[in-house]
């Protein structure tokens, strides 16, 4: 039982750290939305291009060039193509980022919902607040994931609100963990 408590406590701290990172990203999106998305796309594109170049160089210096379909050359070319696409289509990257963030928030909300049901089994009224926060998180995640017209600033604001809710709920759960076990 001690192992499980330690694991849950460590998971709680990791969740808080993730939420702090989300708050920072949220503020960056609020104050520089277009620049942030383009920057992320350019960085991802550059990383893929560099990886692709390294793979191609690995193929060229490799002594095993007899294989018709060498892994390094195929991965290198694909990585370079993905890198170029990420740079050229930075607007599409923004849409994908929106969906990924929305799905992550929905997933986290469902986990929080489950945690609140566990707290409900105890004779503790904290579960109501936890449930309300989970529902708010779920609605925010759906809004982000399903609304193609949502502006990046709104995503940043929702990320900040989500992160604050997630931190509050994690702290509530961690403080009541001894009652669960």
Q: What is the pLDDT of residue 42?
A: 85
Selection from 131, 102, 92 nearest residue 114 by Cα:
131
pLDDT of residue 135: 93
pLDDT at 181: 56
Which residues form the domain of 48? 2-180
Average pLDDT for the chain: 80
Distance CA(58)–CA(53), nearest Å, equals 8
Structural domains of the chain, count: 1
Pick the closest to residue 16 from 163, 180, 143 (CA basis).
163
Q: Which residues of the chain have pLDDT under 70?
A: 1-10, 63-70, 123, 148-151, 177-181
Cα gap 173→26, rounded to integer Å: 24
């Amino acid at each position: 039982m001690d192992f499980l408590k330690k694991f849950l406590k460590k998971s709680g701290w990791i969740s808080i750290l993730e939420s702090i990172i989300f708050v920072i990203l949220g503020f960056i999106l609020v104050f520089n939305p277009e620049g942030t998305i383009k920057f992320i796309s350019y960085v991802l594109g550059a990383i893929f291009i560099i990886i692709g170049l390294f793979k191609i160089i690995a193929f060229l210096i490799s002594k095993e060039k007899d294989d018709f379909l060498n892994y390094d050359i195929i991965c290198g070319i694909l990585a370079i193509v993905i890198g170029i696409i990420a740079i050229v289509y930075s607007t599409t990257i923004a849409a994908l980022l929106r969906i990924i963030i929305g799905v992550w928030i929905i997933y986290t909300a469902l986990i929080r919902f489950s945690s609140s049901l566990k707290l409900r089994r105890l004779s503790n009224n904290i579960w109501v607040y936890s449930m309300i926060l989970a529902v708010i998180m779920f609605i925010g995640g759906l809004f982000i994931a399903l609304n193609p017209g949502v502006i990046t600033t709104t995503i940043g604001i929702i990320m900040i609100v989500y992160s604050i809710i997630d931190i509050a709920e994690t702290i509530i759960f961690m403080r009541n963990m001894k009652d669960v076990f």
